[in-house]
Structure 1
């Protein structure tokens, strides 16, 4: 065997030369790759900026031009930042010019952070942590024309986008063509949380559009609508608190508020504050409006009523809402002025509330009153024209409540705008110059639903305490040529139906003044401590008829010295005007009539005392018939001349009248029955029914005193 040869050189542990060569290549590749990535990232921002600008030009067929001042991306933070972005409409015409409106847009800064790049590559639901857009100025000529029914999530190139936070701050804008845009926004901002733009997000009934919550503010908003300009100083909304507030809303009409009416209403409104709480914004996006409380503070509203009746509120809202409900409405400190109608009402310090308002869906059953379950309205001082322009009606306070069915007016006044002579001259005939003062008027059992739906005034009771009525007329003017409407038959033919169970006047006063042609000194007569009760005041055929007529009773003091009573029965639906009147006058000196008959008739009662007068009259459109039983004693008259003095000839006439015609006493001797006096007087339909009552009393008194019936009839019918 041969021994193995052993090398004399020592052994070494160094790696083979090929391993050293591979490590150097790996390091070199990594360095080159890092350099390439760095160079690529440096070129990514310019490339992406150019790509975005080109994409806008291509997609709009050259209609829009986009410029981005700077763009920065960060893969580490998955963010994108843009600055000094502006978008302009080019002057060149394109096939999409009609569809794409003219736009001028400038954005100071856009930040997009936390983009899910992997989801973006997979075209899934892309998560984004936040999007913030600052300093936006937008001018938009019109809204772009889009395909009907196309939703935002259906137009995305990915399955969806979910944004955690979104801010849009410092926004200014204008909408509309020309130098006078339809909408101008001084400043606004918008924020939203958890925006889920996807089919699932659109189907989520708890979201406002695609967002879990939204909030926004606007300042200096101006909107032009047909015939009006609307300005809003400040507005804010938050879906989380379900709160909408508007501060200082002003509406100005392009034409002034006056009596010149047009086809549309003209409105002037100043609204310091509006607050809407409990707004279900998520339901609003689905055409369902629901809210809890709408508070309107100190609105001042003036409007001109149009010649064409505008559509009802439910008709106006129907194209936009399927449901419209509000739990409570409050109006505080309002003011109202209405022009374009003869009454021209003005009201101050208006307060109102309503509960359970439902405009849509429209109720088929008549349970609501102007969309609400119940209303309560109060006003301060209010005025309106009555028989314009001759009278003003005013009150100090009005209270109406539909729940108990009540209406209360305080400080009610009716005053003429002209003097007695000016009023008669303006009308061209004699006219009653009325002044009415009612401290309080109360209505109970008012059926407001019947008033709205059936146009029926249905009231259980009306109470009027301490009313004062002053009448003044001038006999130097012609008689009114028109037929009087102050009659029972005219009351039964008013153009609307009314049904009042009881009307009560308590402790009233009537002061009558008449200036006769013969004497500048007017005659006066008063009725004091007047109490009137009317039952079944109705023109409803189911209520009114021969078997159930209006029944009235009255009592009072003539000139505060003679107690008198009246009883009335009238069928208001009897076109003949038939009714009956009975009454009594208690003991009094006849001289209480002198303040009226001396200046108007030239007759003075020298002496005479009434022990009792009873009468019963039947009246209709043609005449009055009846009987009077007047028990009196020591009746003496004095005829007077134009100076209201008993001249020589008047003394002779007085002696003849007292000695031949008049019955001094009735009965002539104690123990004898009272000589009845027939009542006969023809009716002049130009006079009111009260004139006919007076004619009957005059006719009965004259015949009771011995005046021949033909002469008494003639004297009673004289003016």
Structure 2
């Protein structure tokens, strides 16, 4: 029997090694497959993202626009490229337009929107997936065009950041380049924009960004520029050539603004205000843009260069400026307003003023919050004004007012006018015919007029004129009238009692006149040559010129002293005292005429009365008279010598009958000398002349002087009174 052969110990070892090798080879085989599958998967994902995600996103955007607008809008995206690795997306040739009325047409307007290119970089994808505030490096939009028929009727009162998904967005840099657009109906748009470029930094559209008071809206800073703006506003067309602003520089610059009314500026009041404005340049400095985004306007200086403004006032006064701003701003403060080289014309008012070369500076302006008028003057703490030539119409259309220069300083309480002129627009005859009666044809030329101690606040806020002194230097005043026309049937306003009827309170400590010339021309019916009376070197001071009951009374009346030279030869001194609040018009006038030949009066008496002073010399004439609405009464002390009168005919010649009258007048009535002999008593004259309220108070003064002089010369008082009251 055969014995089994023994098993070799090397066989199990070899089998083990062979099995191990087989297992290792199998693992290597599956590893290569796993890597290959992973590579295929990565390539597939990349291919899907590259070739399928962008078209899918593009389709989703277009579909979302259609469904969100309920079919009213159609969105077309020309190209869309995304890169998850680079965290960027680029979209080109975007076109959004209205395609149908749709159920949402009531709240969604007709819209045409095109976008050449938008690039979004450094998007925080993980924050987006986790629903956190999404950081974005930059968003750049290029070639944006918007055509909008009207504003959408939004009903969502929430702020923008609350309407965004997630926790909001934070964009480091936003740029909009070459933005154009128009607003309104396509046929007649109400606004057009040729180009705008805007940038914003650190734009945070979130609750934290909205709560940050240092931001401009949601941005840390904003800058931009606009060009070619056209707009239609109520009754006007507006154009703007350029605008630049930067919140970091706190500055806004406007170039060439023009506003034109749809109807021309005219002299008649219109239903609404009409404005024509030309503004070559405006610079706003120190603007607090963050406060402005919260309806609070704060700025340091607003400078306006060479503005040109013309306007027609409306029939109904518009609301005050603070009332117009209140719906839009809670606060409006400006450190200084500076306007240089401006021009202004105001129509729709009888004055119709026009001013050239206006230089205006206002400091400390506060419009809102509105405070009742107090120390401020038209919302400002102080104003300084300087102008060139100005024109206006007084007592339209009869007189033309102008000056060559004006300076005013509210803080110093000063106002000065240079070369002030008042001239009639018609001839003496033309003015009388137009008014239908005799009228004072007034011409005034004042080289210098100054007001000091002027309370501008009282004038602006309470419509009161309060000043320390009014000084008038070297004025030349001339009046002309024609006696061939009927007398004025109206009561004269040139009287003391008329001052109490001025529709505003006034108080002037002093009215000072230096070296004035006053000339009166009167054309009597009997003679074409006018009579002339002139006072040269006239100067004086009136004190307490007021209609304020707090400062005017019989105990504290208006008082005044004046001096001058009658006809350039007779020195005159006059004093006046009047309570202008006395309804009876009572006042007192006294004065003195010093030595002069009586022949100086011939230039007035010959053409108007047919009387010539052949001889006579005044030694001294003193008078004192009381006047009221009924008459002038008083006493005259007239010292003179060798008085001889001569009556003349219409040709100013002594005819036969007039020679007889002259002989009787000089022989019976006229006292040659007063006193008759040296050392004798001076005969006083009674001053009495009835007042005609159609004439000014100066006419009554003249009547009283004539009656007193005639009575002093020997003419009986009744006849002297009658002669003084004649035309």
Pairwise TM-score range, normalised by the shorter structure: over 0.9
Which one of 73, 77, 84 corresponds to residue 82 of structure 2?
73
CA distance in 2, matches of 1:127, 1:102: 33
CA distance in 2, matches of 1:682, 1:349: 51
- The reply on whether 1:278 has 2:286 as its aligned counterpart is yes
Alignment of 1:661-672 (within 5 A): 661-672=669-680
CA distance in 2, matches of 1:150, 1:17: 67
Which one of 487, 509, 512 corresponds to residue 479 of structure 1?
487
Alignment of 1:231-380 (within 5 A): 231-364=239-372, 366-380=374-388
Which one of 198, 202, 216 corresponds to residue 194 of structure 1?
202
- The reply on whether 1:63 has 2:72 as its aligned counterpart is yes
Q: Give ranges in structure 1 of 5+ residues lacking alignment.
A: none
Residue 263 of structure 1 and its aligned partner are, at CA, apart by 2.8
Alignment of 1:361-510 (within 5 A): 361-364=369-372, 366-510=374-518
Residue 495 of structure 1 and its aligned partner are, at CA, apart by 0.9
Query: What is residue 165 of structure 2 aligned with on the other side?
Result: 157
Query: What is residue 205 of structure 1 aligned with on the other side?
Result: 213
Query: What is residue 117 of structure 2 aligned with on the other side?
Result: 109
CA distance in 2, matches of 1:214, 1:286: 15
Preserved CA contact (<8 Å) 2:229 2:241: yes
Alignment of 1:2-81 (within 5 A): 5-6=9-10, 16-41=24-49, 42-81=51-90
Which one of 54, 57, 82 corresponds to residue 91 of structure 2?
82
TM-score, normalised with respect to structure 1: 0.98
Per-residue deviation, residues 558-615 of structure 1 (Å, max 9, x unmatched) = 1111100000001100010100000100000000001111111111111100000000
Residue 9 of structure 1 and its aligned partner are, at CA, apart by 8.6
Per-residue deviation, residues 471-509 of structure 1 (Å, max 9, x unmatched) = 111111111111101000011211111100100001111
Per-residue deviation, residues 94-142 of structure 1 (Å, max 9, x unmatched) = 2x21111110001111111111111110010101100011111111111
Residue 178 of structure 1 and its aligned partner are, at CA, apart by 4.2
Q: Tell me, what secondary structure is at the counterpart of 1:422?
A: helix
CA distance in 1, matches of 2:105, 2:432: 71
CA distance in 2, matches of 1:236, 1:695: 72
Which one of 674, 687, 698 corresponds to residue 690 of structure 1?
698
Preserved CA contact (<8 Å) 2:70 2:102: no
Residue 37 of structure 1 and its aligned partner are, at CA, apart by 1.7
Residue 181 of structure 1 and its aligned partner are, at CA, apart by 1.5
Q: Tell me, what secondary structure is at the counterpart of 1:655?
A: helix
CA distance in 2, matches of 1:686, 1:705: 29
Q: Tell me, what secondary structure is at the counterpart of 2:271?
A: coil
Query: What is residue 633 of structure 2 aligned with on the other side?
Result: 625
Comparing 261-270 and 105-114, the one that deviates more:
261-270
Residue 20 of structure 1 and its aligned partner are, at CA, apart by 2.5
- The reply on whether 1:700 has 2:711 as its aligned counterpart is no
CA distance in 2, matches of 1:152, 1:264: 37
Alignment of 1:151-190 (within 5 A): 151-190=159-198
CA distance in 1, matches of 2:531, 2:348: 41
Label 1:685 to 1:6 Cα distance change in 2 as closer, same or farther (>3 A). Answer: closer
Q: Tell me, what secondary structure is at the counterpart of 1:26?
A: helix
Q: Tell me, what secondary structure is at the counterpart of 2:417?
A: strand
CA distance in 2, matches of 1:369, 1:219: 36
CA distance in 2, matches of 1:428, 1:567: 36
Residue 24 of structure 1 and its aligned partner are, at CA, apart by 2.1
CA distance in 2, matches of 1:113, 1:455: 64
Residue 6 of structure 1 and its aligned partner are, at CA, apart by 4.1
Q: Tell me, what secondary structure is at the counterpart of 1:492?
A: helix
Aligned residues: 718
Preserved CA contact (<8 Å) 2:373 2:461: no
Root-mean-square deviation (CA, aligned residues, Å) is 1.6
TM-score, normalised with respect to structure 2: 0.97
Which one of 678, 681, 702 corresponds to residue 689 of structure 2?
681
- The reply on whether 1:575 has 2:583 as its aligned counterpart is yes
CA distance in 2, matches of 1:580, 1:364: 43
Preserved CA contact (<8 Å) 2:71 2:100: no
Per-residue deviation, residues 628-648 of structure 1 (Å, max 9, x unmatched) = 010000001111111111122
Preserved CA contact (<8 Å) 2:180 2:196: yes
CA distance in 2, matches of 1:616, 1:356: 54
Alignment of 1:499-538 (within 5 A): 499-538=507-546
Q: Tell me, what secondary structure is at the counterpart of 1:633?
A: strand
Preserved CA contact (<8 Å) 2:387 2:405: yes
Residue 216 of structure 1 and its aligned partner are, at CA, apart by 1.4
- The reply on whether 1:228 has 2:236 as its aligned counterpart is yes
Query: What is residue 649 of structure 1 aligned with on the other side?
Result: 657
CA distance in 1, matches of 2:262, 2:6: 128
Label 1:718 to 1:135 Cα distance change in 2 as closer, same or farther (>3 A). Answer: same
Residue 145 of structure 1 and its aligned partner are, at CA, apart by 1.9
CA distance in 1, matches of 2:84, 2:679: 129
Residue 434 of structure 1 and its aligned partner are, at CA, apart by 1.1
Q: Tell me, what secondary structure is at the counterpart of 2:179?
A: strand
- The reply on whether 1:93 has 2:102 as its aligned counterpart is yes
Alignment of 1:568-647 (within 5 A): 568-647=576-655
Query: What is residue 554 of structure 1 aligned with on the other side?
Result: 562
Per-residue deviation, residues 251-307 of structure 1 (Å, max 9, x unmatched) = 011111102322321101000011101111101111111000000111100000111
Preserved CA contact (<8 Å) 2:73 2:100: no
Residue 650 of structure 1 and its aligned partner are, at CA, apart by 1.5
